[in-house]
């Protein structure tokens, strides 16, 4: 038996064998069959007692490859089963859909201009009040001046708020009812509803911001300083047609008299972003038509007989495609489209999203994936509520309720099935936020990874495909083949209420 | 229109808005609807002009989840299609297989002891020669002494080499013919053949190493110093039964008189490794029986009619399972089993593998994934060839030819189909090495990633599943249902030569 080497376990003092010696060195060595391959004690690199943790970067590459290969295989399977399902001329829209859609596209922005007129009148009134205040100031009648300002502001605000409310509400009601009753095609309907909601949010922001600017003008002594960036265009100079038109097209939902701007338009940048939008739209269309559509179609009977294992299997299969479409759609809209628009508008602040894919808390997800809406909610809902003394947690719940209503409007109305799944999905975020917040506090890096996994599972792997399945089923329950085939199914009793 | 901010595009000097302010700060601020959400020009984090590259660690988590979900879905699909295929009593081996397997297990090591006897006799002869040399040295007859040593060494080596050759060759021939003709079950056959090859390699290493040690003893003046670690057990003291038995069980194929050793056995460590081996073996067995078997089975007819698209689809589906089994098997054998064995043997050098999963060159893969064989080939084939003047590239090709022959022996013989696929697979590594070596030189980090991808694709995603499919088909062509059904198929003409 060979004797043991003295000293500790795994002493690294032993000399390294000449394993990597050059060819010349091998040729010089006389005894080639005797060199000491094993000259030191050392652990395996995957063992817990290894000196440094091994790198697993190769497995990242492997995961990418396995994902590509498995999905290529599913594409072959899909093609052999269904052939080519993509068809350029097979659209589901009617002439009426297009006409109503075009009409809404042209008419909805009018509400923004109505808001402008309201604000213009309020600005005139404020100008008069300022003149009267100046006069009172010259007369050294300070209490009279303050009372004048308060009265002038409050009475005007009541009138202004009333007309703004009517205007904004009519925007939503008209667009929603036209989409629900007159536009059958869910794609066109979604675009119209989305446009109406965006204009509605812009109108609200325009009204709220100008209210506070007017308040600052009429209460020059009470007021805290306004942001420096607004100094170049003070109220009421910002109430002009060009300023409104800039806000109309700017890629933001938050009104500011002045925005940070870039100095010139890089047309090459715009061109690349537009190509991205077109390319990704085609990719999403192919993925939906060729892969998602047959999958949704052949899951209809599974849902109608409430075969839960099959529903789970369908949701799992659908999750990859819906995730793919979601990621492509996110990039196309938030990176490519909004950046192209911002470039053309010389809009400087391009923070349309944060690194939401790394979030470890669902709360952070909702504040980073869609910055335009987050900014709106923070400035016009959350901060004012907290400022008025609401507990922050309640203010957050209110934000989620509003967000849930808007989501239901955007999904339920164009699909003609206000079944509340989108709203319920938003409400379900609240306990998830509590869960991931608790996880964050509990552990270190593992808590972060667990939080991120919960986000992906709840949102992209379960939430979205399940919601897509339910709205698709509801659509077919109302219009499609299902309602004829499965009139007596248990699921039908739930969905088929019309 | 608001005026543009002066200065450069994306100047980061502008002040940060108080977006993340605390609740108290929000309550103190009077004008809540006017704070400047957009106060600076900044690019989107995914844009090329972003200040720092975004982190994508969340997508790594997503990939893991998608892989789990897609494979869980395939498991549901598999279960609904086939039910439970795992069956403890359904084995394919006969009593004869077990008897021959046990006989081989007991008899194969005898060849190592025959090698010991040969070396013992050679050592006795060398001792006599040393004594005669000492006498010549005392007579101050130096030329006579050197001639004596040369003659003594060369004549003995010819005899010793002849007997070692006979012994080692008989080992391989006997084991291979028994496995090929008498052991039907491929699993038992593979274990027996693997055992025989390991003992064959150990016998070769024992013979070669002791040859050089004897040479060093008989040429004390010509010789370069032997490794320091051998000093505690110089030749011929190492030719003893205990030393041989240690080498027989040590987790290495390279003979050294002395190995680095640990001081004690950690039985807890051994226990955990054994549990890993058992657990992973069960996992591999379930994966093969439930997932790989039906997949291989229903690809038989696709191969026999040479439906290439279907074969590609089957290889793609098989690749995930074969990759999974390969990774589990690698860990079970090289990490768990060899570490357990090394711990019991107090064998210090646990470098049984390197970080092969990160390799960017196929060459590095073959020198890191299986260190015991690499060490053998380097010490007993590559270095001696290069030392004798062979160009390194040719020496490498010879190593791959020997390795290819051993692979064919290990796969072709137990499956009773020496069809040369394993050998061809090894030979195909040579152009792949040239390709990845060229890639490495061309580019920086991208070359590394591309090399790693080529490794995974060629080896784990195409090579292994394709080879498994071909040997499985050849097996069924010889014994199974295929030969009856598809006697006239084109693939059959290739495989069915018996």
Closest residue of A to B343, CA-based? A43
For residues B148 and B129, is the Cβ–Cβ distance under 8 A? yes
Residue-wise pLDDT for B313-327, tens only, equals 888 888 888 889 889
pLDDT of B352? 94
For residues B56 and A246, is the Cβ–Cβ distance under 8 A? no
3-class state of residue A261 by DSSP = strand
Q: What is the mean pLDDT of chain B?
A: 84
pLDDT of B480? 67
Would an 8 Å CB–CB cutoff place A279 in contact with chain B?
Answer: no
Instruction: Check whether B178 has a pLDDT greater than 80.
Output: yes
Interval B352-372 mean pLDDT: 91
CA distance A65 to B457: 8
A69, A375, A384 member nearest B319 (Cβ):
A69
CA angle B73/A471/A186 to nearest 5° reads 125
Q: What confidence tier does B170 reach under pLDDT thresholds 50, 70, 90? A: very high
Would an 8 Å CB–CB cutoff place B449 in contact with chain A?
Answer: yes
Instruction: Check whether B253 has a pLDDT greater than 90.
Output: yes
CA distance A85 to A287: 10
With 0-12 / 13-18 / 19 or more C-beta atoms within 10 angstroms meaning exposed / middle / buried, residue A268 is exposed
Q: What are phi and psi of A261, to 5 degrees?
A: -125, 155
Encode B202-263 in three state secondary structure: HHHHHHHHHHHHHHHHHCCCCCCCCCHHHHHCCCCCCCCHHHHHHHHHCCCCCCCCCCCECC
Q: What are phi and psi of B42, to 5 degrees?
A: -155, 145
CA angle B415/B419/B420 to nearest 5° reads 115
For residues B259 and B431, is the Cβ–Cβ distance under 8 A? no
CA distance A287 to B218: 77
pLDDT of B485? 44
Instruction: Check whether A20 has a pLDDT greater than 60.
Output: no
Residue-wise pLDDT for A257-267, tens only, equals 999 999 999 99
pLDDT above 70 as % of chain B: 89
pLDDT of B19? 39
B217 against A268, higher pLDDT: A268
CA distance B5 to B372: 68
Would an 8 Å CB–CB cutoff place B64 in contact with chain A?
Answer: yes
Q: What confidence tier does B217 reach under pLDDT thresholds 50, 70, 90? A: confident
Give the dihedral of Cα atoms A373, A377, A379, A385; nearest 10 deg: 180
Q: What are phi and psi of A42, to 5 degrees?
A: -155, 145
pLDDT of B22? 54
Instruction: Check whether A343 has a pLDDT greater than 50.
Output: yes
pLDDT of B54? 85
3-class state of residue A222 by DSSP = coil
Residue matched to tokens 């009470």:
A222
Q: Which of A54-68, A145-159, A367-381 has the lowest mean pLDDT?
A: A145-159
The single-letter DSSP state of residue B157 is H
Q: Which residues contact A88 (CB under 8 A, 6 or more apart)?
A: none
B440-449 core/surface letters (b: 16 or more CB in 10 A; e: else): beeeeeebbb
Residues of chain B in contact with residue A30, where contact means CB-CB under 8 angstroms, are 222-224
B437 against B88, higher pLDDT: B437
Residue-wise pLDDT for B293-316, tens only, equals 888 888 887 777 878 888 888 888
Would an 8 Å CB–CB cutoff place B278 in contact with chain A?
Answer: no
Instruction: Check whether A498 has a pLDDT greater than 90.
Output: no
Q: Which of A86-95, A163-172, B37-46, B340-349 has the lowest mean pLDDT?
A: A86-95
CA distance A464 to A455: 12
- What residues of A act catalytically? 407
CA distance B421 to B408: 7
Interval B378-388 mean pLDDT: 92
Interval A428-449 mean pLDDT: 82
A residues 18..37 contacting B (CB < 8 A): 19, 23, 26-27, 29-37
Residue-wise pLDDT for B101-112, tens only, equals 999 999 999 999
pTM: 0.79
pLDDT of B317? 86
Bond prior to A236 in cis (omega within 30° of 0): yes
- Please indicate whether, in this complex, the C-beta atoms of A69 and B461 are within 8 angstroms of each other: yes
* Tokens representing residue B166 in the block: 């006979």
Interval B161-175 mean pLDDT: 94
How would you classify residue B416: left for phi > 0, otherwise alpha for psi between -120 and 50, otherwise beta? left
For residues A87 and A290, is the Cβ–Cβ distance under 8 A? no
Give the dihedral of Cα atoms B143, B145, B149, B152; nearest 10 deg: 110
The single-letter DSSP state of residue A461 is I
CA distance B434 to B430: 6
Bond prior to A116 in cis (omega within 30° of 0): no
Residue-wise pLDDT for A27-41, tens only, equals 555 678 888 888 888
CA distance A97 to A101: 6
Q: Which residues contact B271 (CB under 8 A, 6 or more apart)?
A: none
Residue-wise pLDDT for A402-419, tens only, equals 999 999 999 899 988 888
> Is the complex ipTM more than 0.90?
no
Residue-wise pLDDT for B116-140, tens only, equals 999 999 999 888 888 888 887 777 7
Q: What are phi and psi of B347, to 5 degrees?
A: -85, 120
Min distance B125 CA to chain A CA atoms (Å): 20
A2, A61, A339 member nearest B47 (Cβ):
A339
For residues A90 and A288, is the Cβ–Cβ distance under 8 A? no
pLDDT of B487? 46
Would an 8 Å CB–CB cutoff place B55 in contact with chain A?
Answer: yes
């Amino acid at each position: 038996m060979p004797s043991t080497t003295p000293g500790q376990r795994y002493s690294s003092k032993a000399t390294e064998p000449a394993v990597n010696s050059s060819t010349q060195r091998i040729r010089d060595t006389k005894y080639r069959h005797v060199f000491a391959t094993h000259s030191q004690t050392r652990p395996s690199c995957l063992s817990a007692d290894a000196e440094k943790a091994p790198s697993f970067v190769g497995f990242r590459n492997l995961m990418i490859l396995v994902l590509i290969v498995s999905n290529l295989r599913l594409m072959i399977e899909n093609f052999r089963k269904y052939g080519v399902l993509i068809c350029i001329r097979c659209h589901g829209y009617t002439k009426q859909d297009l006409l109503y859609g075009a009409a809404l596209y042209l008419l909805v922005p009018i509400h923004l201009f109505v808001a402008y007129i309201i604000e213009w009148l309020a600005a005139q009134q404020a100008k008069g009040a300022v003149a009267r205040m100046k006069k009172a100031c010259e007369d050294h009648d300070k209490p009279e001046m303050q009372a004048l300002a308060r009265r002038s502001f409050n009475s005007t605000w009541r009138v202004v708020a009333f007309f703004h409310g009517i205007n904004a509400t009519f925007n939503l009601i008209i667009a929603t009812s036209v989409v629900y009753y007159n536009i059958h095609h869910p794609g066109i309907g979604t675009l119209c509803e989305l446009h109406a909601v965006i204009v509605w949010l812009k109108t609200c922001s325009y009204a709220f911001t100008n209210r506070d600017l007017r308040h600052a003008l009429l209460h020059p002594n009470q007021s805290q300083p306004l942001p420096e960036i607004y100094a170049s265009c003070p109220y009421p100079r910002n109430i002009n047609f060009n300023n409104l038109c800039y806000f109309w097209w700017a890629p933001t939902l938050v009104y500011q008299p002045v925005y940070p701007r870039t100095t010139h338009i890089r047309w090459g940048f715009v061109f690349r972003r537009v190509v991205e939008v077109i390319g990704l739209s085609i990719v999403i269309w192919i993925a939906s038509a060729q892969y998602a559509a047959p999958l949704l179609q052949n899951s209809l009977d599974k849902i109608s007989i409430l075969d839960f294992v099959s529903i789970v299997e369908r949701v799992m299969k659908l999750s990859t495609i819906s995730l793919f479409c979601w990621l492509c759609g996110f990039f196309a809209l938030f990176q490519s489209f909004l950046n192209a628009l911002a470039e053309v508008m010389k809009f400087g602040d391009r923070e349309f999203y944060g690194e939401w894919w790394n979030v470890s808390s669902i709360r952070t997800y909702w504040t980073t994936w869609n910055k335009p809406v987050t900014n709106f909610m923070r400035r016009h809902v959350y901060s004012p509520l907290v400022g008025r003394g609401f507990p922050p947690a309640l203010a957050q719940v209110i934000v989620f309720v509003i967000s849930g209503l808007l989501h239901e409007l955007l999904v339920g109305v164009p699909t003609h099935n206000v079944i509340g799944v989108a709203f319920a999905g938003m409400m379900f975020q609240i306990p998830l936020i509590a869960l991931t917040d608790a996880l964050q506090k509990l552990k270190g890096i593992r808590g972060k990874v667990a939080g991120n996994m919960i986000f992906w599972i709840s949102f992209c792997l379960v939430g979205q495909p399940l919601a897509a399945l339910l709205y698709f089923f509801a659509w077919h329950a109302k219009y499609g083949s299902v309602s004829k085939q499965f009139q007596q199914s248990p699921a039908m009793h739930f969905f088929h209420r019309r």
